[in-house]
Amino acid sequence: MSAVSKITVVSKISCMLGRHEPQRRDVRWDGRTYVGHCKHCGAPIERIKHRRWRERTE
């Protein structure tokens, strides 16, 4: 396992705990909230409050 994939595994644990982080350049306003994709796991996410994001269910 390379160092890069170890970092990804740690990040995915954060994701499993519901702590996603947005890909900054991907974030947009959808008329209701900020939406984007997690930079770690790629899941579609939405902002619930400052610095808190959750996975979107569509």
Residues that bind Zn ion (CB under 5 A): 15, 20, 38, 40-41
DSSP track, 15-56: HHTT---B-GGG-EE-SSSEEEEBTTT--EEEEEETTEEEE-
Cβ 29 vs Cβ 52: under 8 Å? no
**Which CB atom, from 13 or from 30, has the smaller least distance to Zn ion?**
13
CB of 52 to Zn ion, least distance (A): 13
**Which CB atom, from 40 or from 46, has the smaller least distance to Zn ion?**
40
CB of 15 to Zn ion, least distance (A): 3
